[in-house]
Amino acid sequence: MTLGSLLQGSMIAPFYNSRSTKITVIVEGKGYVETVCPHLSERGRSREEGGEGHEGREGGGQRYQKVRSQVSRGTVTVIPPGHPTVIVASRGRNLEAVCFEIRAERNERNYLAGRNNVLKQLDREAKELSFDMPAREVEEVLNAQGEQIIVAGPEERERRERPLLPMLEIATAFM
């Protein structure tokens, strides 16, 4: 169990857990959680299960849905393993949460952005094939984020004009 706090306007870099299911209870503040999910695509393409909307993409023959939900005090979220997720604090308030992980033994948290992101481990050819652009450009985007786990949220990044690939594009490139 952990107690986490995100300062207003910041976010946890896009990540996924290899084995554990993360349960988060918001105890203070506001923000949103955005997750990429392969399981919703067939069941409810137009359904909005408490979220602001779904956006589908196909990757490797599989269809994925992006689910974005507003969170505030009392909200509980469940993030299954293998589902790329970002958690963003609103610009006006910090976001505090109590987090539990089920099946955490031998879990690996893999970040898809930030200084320690797993995509940096790919060789140049894999980057070019996956992102359909020169490896130099992919590396420039991957290296643009100097922070590690807690990074500037989307609104803060816009103010700084730092490029980052959209989470859904990064996540589906390898699925």
One-letter amino acid of 154? P
* Residue among 107, 63, 100 at smallest CA distance from 81: 107
Is the distance from CB of 51 to CB of 76 less than 8 angstroms?
no
pTM: 0.74
Q: Has residue 11 got a pLDDT over 50?
A: yes
pLDDT single digits (tens) 38-83: 776 555 544 444 455 555 555 556 678 899 999 999 999 999 999 9
Give the model confidence (pLDDT) of 77-133 as tens digits.
999 999 999 999 999 899 999 999 999 999 999 998 878 888 888 999 999 998 899
Note whether 88 and 31 are within 8 A (CB): yes
Total domains in the chain come to 1
Q: By residue range, what is the domain housing residue 65?
A: 2-172
Taking CA 131 as the corner, what is the angle to CA 149 and CA 173, rounded to the nearest 5 degrees?
A: 65
Is 80 in contact with 21 (CB distance < 8 Å)? Answer: yes
CATH number for the domain including 52?
Answer: 2.60.120.10
Write out 64-117 in H/E/C secondary structure. EEEEEEEEECCCEEEECCCCCEEEEECCCCCEEEEEEEECCCCCCEEECCCCCC
- Provide the β-strand partners of residue 64: 57
